[in-house]
């Protein structure tokens, strides 16, 4: 059966789908499978979908959407799973703005119940010219390889947070902008989280010569088992010369919080990556989060926090607590972006290109 898609979610972009696709009635119930679904609701909040170009579009009742089967475990969003079986006619849900599709098992009241979708079938691709038999589409196609170790890298700057919505992407972008203005070629990556192009597009907008995410590695949502090999693969890819361009520094954002379900801790405990990480910016929402993160990094992980940013540093009260109680630099990305970039440049010993 052929259908005309109203929307192609950004999570599918490895597959490079056309607007008209062929569907199979047999659905592979596994993370990464690309499916066509029909929206059954029109929500007033959390009602948009990001397309493959990064454009946000309102989801309307009746829209036929290409999405990707996957899980999500977000404190401020939805929790969802991939059912053991998926059949045409099943009712699933849109779990995020990037087009992740699964069975919602819990939701945050701020976003309301997830948009229901009806499964229409598995999208097929035809990778071999002239062949009429389709292959079940998966975002694992054309994916960057994972890796089991990283031996060398340009300096890595890691940005993590006490929770989602702690200002990590904003801090990453201010650092990228500032280092780019200093003449450095910056590579960037979103290492953990759930599939969405928005953050890596922002990184490119402020100067990153290349910005990757776990979605480029064929992963729709990271977890403990996948985060570390995928992160290593992305770091190795950013160290490669692409179209004659290499990078001087790599900025990586660890989506979600340092304690969570997306595998951030596994990356923080990886000695090969942490040895190559020269700066660690921690974004905290409040004093307890800043204090707990400093204790967790120092006593449990054996790592040093270089700078604290995020809402905790929004005014002098928060910054004074960080500096006097924790003995750490406090630099707010929103009001002191230039100072934050300057501090990072100092810590990595940046040598601008002539």
Query: Tens digits of per-residue pLDDT, 28-79?
Result: 999 999 999 999 999 999 999 999 999 999 999 999 999 999 999 887 889 9
Which residue, among 213, 152, 154, has the nearest Cα to 184 in the 3D structure? 154
Asked whether the predicted pLDDT for residue 232 surpasses 90, the reply is: yes
**Cβ contact 86:20 at 8 Å:** no
Predicted local distance difference test score (pLDDT) of residue 28: 96
**Cβ contact 143:217 at 8 Å:** yes
Q: What's the CA dihedral at 175, 177, 182, 184 to 10 degrees? A: 80
Mean pLDDT score, 109-125: 95
Residue 97, SS3 per DSSP = coil
Asked whether the predicted pLDDT for residue 164 surpasses 90, the reply is: no
In the structure, what pLDDT confidence band is assigned to residue 130 with cuts at 50, 70 and 90?
A: low
Asked whether the predicted pLDDT for residue 353 surpasses 70, the reply is: no
Q: What is the mean pLDDT of the chain?
A: 95
In the structure, what pLDDT confidence band is assigned to residue 352 with cuts at 50, 70 and 90?
A: low
298 vs 142, higher pLDDT: 298
Pair type for strands 135-136 and 156-161: unpaired
Whole-structure pTM value: 0.93
191 vs 131, higher pLDDT: 191
Mean pLDDT score, 157-180: 96
d(CA 89, CA 30): 17
Q: At a CB cut-off of 8 Å and minimum separation 6, what does 18 contact?
A: none
Structure token digits, residue 12: 């599918």
Inter-CA distances, 194 with 11, 97, 142, 339, Å: 9, 9, 19, 30
Residue 337 has, within 13 A of its CA and on its CB side, a CA count of 17
Q: What are the structural domains of the chain?
A: 2-136 (no CATH), 156-348 (3.40.50.300)
Structure token digits, residue 162: 């006490």
Predicted local distance difference test score (pLDDT) of residue 354: 40
Q: At a CB cut-off of 8 Å and minimum separation 6, what does 339 contact?
A: 331
């Amino acid at each position: 059966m052929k259908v005309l898609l109203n929307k192609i979610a950004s999570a599918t972009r490895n597959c490079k789908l056309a607007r008209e696709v062929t569907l199979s009635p047999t659905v592979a119930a596994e993370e990464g499978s690309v499916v066509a679904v029909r929206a059954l609701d029109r929500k007033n909040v959390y009602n948009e979908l990001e397309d493959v170009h990064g454009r946000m579009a309102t989801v309307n009742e009746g829209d036929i959407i290409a999405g990707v089967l996957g899980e999500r475990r977000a404190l401020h969003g939805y929790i969802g799973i991939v059912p053991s079986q998926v059949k045409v006619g099943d009712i699933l849900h849109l779990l995020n703005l990037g087009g992740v599709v699964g069975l919602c098992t819990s939701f945050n009241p701020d976003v309301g119940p997830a948009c229901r979708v009806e499964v229409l079938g598995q999208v097929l691709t035809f990778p071999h010219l002239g062949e009429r038999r389709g292959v079940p589409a998966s975002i694992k196609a054309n994916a960057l390889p994972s890796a089991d170790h990283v031996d060398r890298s340009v300096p890595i700057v890691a940005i993590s947070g006490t929770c989602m919505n702690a200002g990590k992407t904003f801090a990453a972008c201010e650092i990228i902008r500032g280092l780019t203005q200093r003449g450095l070629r910056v590579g960037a990556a979103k290492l953990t989280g759930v599939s969405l192009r928005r953050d890596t597009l922002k990184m490119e907008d402020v100067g990153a010569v290349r910005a990757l995410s776990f979605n480029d590695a064929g992963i729709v949502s990271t977890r403990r088992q996948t985060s570390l090999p995928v992160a290593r693969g992305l770091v190795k890819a950013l160290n490669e010369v692409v179209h004659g361009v290499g990078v001087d520094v790599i900025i990586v954002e660890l989506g979600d919080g340092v304690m969570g379900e997306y595998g951030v801790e596994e990356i923080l405990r990886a000695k090969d990556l942490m040895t190559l990480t020269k700066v660690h910016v921690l974004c905290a929402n409040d004093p307890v989060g800043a204090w707990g993160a400093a204790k967790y990094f120092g006593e449990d992980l054996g790592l040093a926090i270089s700078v604290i940013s995020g809402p905790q540093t929004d005014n002098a009260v928060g910054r004074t607590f960080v500096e006097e109680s924790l003995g750490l630099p406090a630099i707010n990305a929103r009001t002191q972006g230039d100072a934050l970039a300057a501090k990072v440049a100092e810590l990595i010993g940046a040598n601008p290109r002539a």
